[in-house]
Amino acid sequence: MGRSVTYNYPVTWMHIIYFISSTGSVTFNGKTVMSGDAAIAANDAITVRANLSQCSGSISLLADSDNDGVGQIYAREGASIAALGSGSVSIDGSGVMTFKRYDYSGRWGYFDRKMRAPSMIISNNSLFSSNNMVSVSGGAIENITTNAPKVEFYKTQDTFYIEKVNEINDFINIEGDGINVTYLKTANVTLKTDGLLDTNPGVILNAPTLTLIADRFGTNVHSDRGK
């Protein structure tokens, strides 16, 4: 078992660059405020039980840094992972990533957050928000909602199959095999896979700008750009 790091009390870091590395797990039990670039890496899990905020700069969370398939990123419901900036959100899932709440609201400065964990990304009651772009990749991408003006969903399994598309007020929801994501009707959307991209018969994909990237396309794929 590796060395684990736990922060039990509220803490404020004002460093320009702050780096935490653990051969075990990293746990935040108290409210944490950061200012300046921050990188948090753990061979096992990263757990956030109270608000984790970045005032400026960037923050990087990396679980399962030793690539042994053990480790996830988990935020308890009611706790937020927030940044006050205007950049992009990049979530690279190479295993299991779990979020209860994910909040990103722009005010000042530049922000770029990258999170990775051991091929499924699963969210519960989460909002992935950015003034720029939200990019999510994983073998399965479940229950992701975003209000970003640009979104990219990269399904790393061999098949990206969409079973249905639903309109929910100002949002579009697409559901399928290992995919359940919701995004703004006004968002520019990229759907990507290295294998087959296909849909159920009658399913129409639409967005102001819609980009479909795949090694091959099924006969049912139809789009209505700019609808």
Which tens digits make up the pLDDT trace of 177-207? 989 999 999 999 999 999 999 999 999 998 9
Query: What whole-number percentage of the chain has pLDDT above 90?
Result: 27
Comparing 101-115, 146-160, 196-210, which segment has the lowest mean pLDDT? 101-115
Residues 145-168 have a mean pLDDT of 90
Whole-number Å distance between alpha carbons of 79 and 90: 20
In tens, the pLDDT along 26-44 reads 888 888 777 767 778 888 8
Tally Cβ neighbours within 10 Å of residue 170. 10
Q: Please, what's the b/e burial string for 145-163 (b: 16 or more CB within 10 A of its CB; e: otherwise)? A: bbbbbbbbbbbbbeebbbe
Ramachandran area for residue 131 (φ above 0: left; ψ -120 to 50: alpha; else beta): alpha
Q: Which of 75, 134, 76, 142 is nearest to 106 (CA)?
A: 134
In tens, the pLDDT along 72-95 reads 777 676 666 666 665 556 676 655
Give the Å distances, CA to CA, from 168 to 41, 90, 171, 181. 37, 25, 5, 12
Whole-number Å distance between alpha carbons of 11 and 99: 22
- List alpha helices for the chain, DSSP H: none
Per-residue pLDDT band at 110 (split at 50, 70, 90): very low
Whole-number Å distance between alpha carbons of 216 and 209: 20
